[in-house]
Amino acid sequence: MPVARREAEVIWKGPLARGTGALTSASGALDALAVTWASRTERPGGKTSPEELIAGAHASCFAMALALVLGENDSPPERLTVTAACTLDEVDGAPRITTVELTVEAEVPGLDASALEQLVGTAAELCPVSNALRGNVEITVRSELAASAAANA
């Protein structure tokens, strides 16, 4: 039996360039989020895109994986800020998600930058979203200690 299974649904109306979709999740957390081709490739205008959703999923999953790894290292974080940038590009004439860039700022008392980098690497191997994307999307991770944590290390 799986650990978790979550569902989402999109109802799309019209052709790609002028059509619109509404994304809804079974949990209700994503309540009728508007999606359009224009929000994906131009200005979002208050609408989301698959790339933004992947960035959100990756950032939240990576934060959880890193919190787990830090806790197992007896250095639980006070705060983690994980930012993900997911890039849609044209490859061989077709749109393709090519990269996800993760940036981690960690406030972890007593931890130095070298230890953080090592633990971030462990989290990268553990993160289910990283593992789902690996091999298809270039993933980079940059990490740094928050100023207050770096002063205490």
pLDDT, tens digit, for every residue of 27-75?
999 988 999 999 999 989 999 999 999 999 999 999 999 999 999 999 9
pLDDT > 90? residue 24: yes
pLDDT of residue 153: 56
CA distance 33 to 117: 36
Residue 40 pLDDT: 92
- At residue 147 the predicted structure's pLDDT band, cuts being 50, 70 and 90, is confident
* pTM as predicted: 0.91
| 48, 68 contact by CB (below 8 A) | no
In this prediction, residues 87-94 reach a mean pLDDT of 96
Backbone torsions φ then ψ of 39, nearest 5 degrees = -70, -20
Predicted confidence at residue 87, as pLDDT, reads 97
User: What pLDDT was estimated at residue 1?
Assistant: 86
Confidence class of residue 148 from pLDDT cuts 50, 70 and 90? low
The β-bridge relationship of strands 94-107 and 20-25 is unpaired
Cβ neighbours, 10 Å, residue 46 = 8
Q: What is the mean pLDDT of the chain?
A: 94
The residues that bridge with 101 in the sheet, in sequence order, are: 85, 140
For position 110, what pLDDT does the model report?
A: 93
